[in-house]
Amino acid sequence: MIENDVLQNILAFGPVFLLIAVRAFAMIQVAPLLSSEAVPMVAKFALAGFAAFAVLPTAEVFMAANSPNGIITLPGGTLSDLRYETFSLRFLLLVIGEGLIGIIMGFYLMIIFASFSTAGQFFSLQMGFGASETFDPLSQIENPLMGQYLNLVSMLVFIAIGGFHQFLLGGFWRSVQTINVVALVDGREPVVTMIVSGLSRLFVDAIIISMPILGTLFLTSLTTGLISKAAPQINILSEGFPISITVAFVLIFASLPFMTEAFARVMNSGFKTIETLYLQIGRQITEASRW
């Protein structure tokens, strides 16, 4: 029976399966879209368990070479068989470390998506939607309407470019093949550098994405101000908001194809940054672990 074979494989490598599942679940709880409350908790547990089982045969970074008994090896040596140490403090620290790795992966993806929402917040005030903040179910925060709109567009672009495929294969699967808790501790400086640079790129990408609309709205406000000074009898303030909103919507409609390309480019750049981190702090992927 297939079910019995799956259960036997999980039980044979129980500690390793648990560590990988904890990493997957922590990543799912933090990553955008998957962390939404609209996704049932049962589905998150099921996805984490399936992802852990799928990558278990290639998790060489956890297992000693030619060792079928679930022994976990680290750069400093080999730990004892964790099937008999699952209630030890050492194993608890490994579980916490694996959860931290998953949180870092999901958090970096969340930083990438935050740049799109921030871009919408930059020009929401200029177009008169600054006070229209409502709860965004995707980002789980109070967000202006334009921030929610760009966040929704970015989610659709993420699905269109195969973002889940890249994130689960290039992100989660490669992480299981290359890094473990000790590699994370030894390579903490590149990890901190990646997060700090991601936070700085968040605002840079948001400004670049919103600059055409933000700059045009600034010129519109400047023009209406000059008209109000040149012709004080015209109540330009009552017409300023409709003009700004109309101009903003026309610009969004005209620049949406270019925005989607920018969204895809930012996402692909984020995936490449994660893979570069694995090359810096992780082990080299062997041919046996590629499939």
pLDDT of 288: 45
How far apart CA 272 and CA 127 sit, in angstroms, is 35
pLDDT computed for residue 141 by the predictor: 66
Per-residue model confidence (pLDDT) at position 61: 65
What predicted TM-score, i.e. pTM, was given to this entire model? 0.76
Mean pLDDT, rounded, for 239-244: 74
Mean pLDDT for the stretch of residues 162-170: 78
> Is 47's pLDDT higher than 80?
yes
Q: So what's the pLDDT on residue 4?
A: 59
- Largest distance between two CA atoms of the chain: 87
Instruction: With beta carbons less than 8 A apart as the criterion, state whether 37 and 137 touch.
Output: yes
pLDDT at 69 over 60: no
Model pLDDT, residue 65 = 42
Instruction: Dump pLDDT digits (tens) for 131-140.
Output: 666 666 666 6
pLDDT in tens, 6-21: 566 666 667 788 888 8
Residue-wise burial string across 153-181, b where 16 or more C-beta atoms lie within 10 A, e elsewhere? bbbebbeebebeebbbeebbbbbbbbbbb
21 contact partners, CB below 8 Å, separation of at least 6: 48, 49, 51, 52
Q: What letter does residue 36 receive in the DSSP assignment? A: S
* Structural domains counted in the chain: 1
- Please say if the pLDDT value at position 96 is more than 80: yes
Q: Which domain range does residue 250 map to?
A: 2-289
Q: Which two tokens stand for residue 98?
A: 């694996």
DSSP letter string, 110-145: HHHHHHHHHHHHHHHTTTT-TT-EEEETTTTEEEEH
* Token output for 70: 């679930």
Rounded mean pLDDT of 23-45? Answer: 83
pLDDT at 209: 84
Higher-pLDDT residue of 142, 162: 162
Q: How many CA atoms lie within 13 A of 80 on its CB side?
A: 6
For 12, 145, 273, the CA distances from 118, given in Å and listed in that order, are 47, 11, 21
DSSP 167-202: IIIIIIIHHHHH--HHHHHHTHHHHHHHHHHHHHHH
CB 109 within 8 A of CB 32: yes
Integer-rounded Cα Rg, in Å, for the chain is 24
Long-range contacts of 109-112 (CB under 8 A, 24+ apart): 109/30, 109/31, 109/32, 109/167, 109/171, 109/270, 110/30, 110/31, 110/32, 111/195, 111/198, 111/199, 111/201, 111/202, 111/270, 112/198, 112/202, 112/266, 112/267, 112/270
Q: In 3D, which of 12, 5, 17 has the Cα closest to residue 62?
A: 17
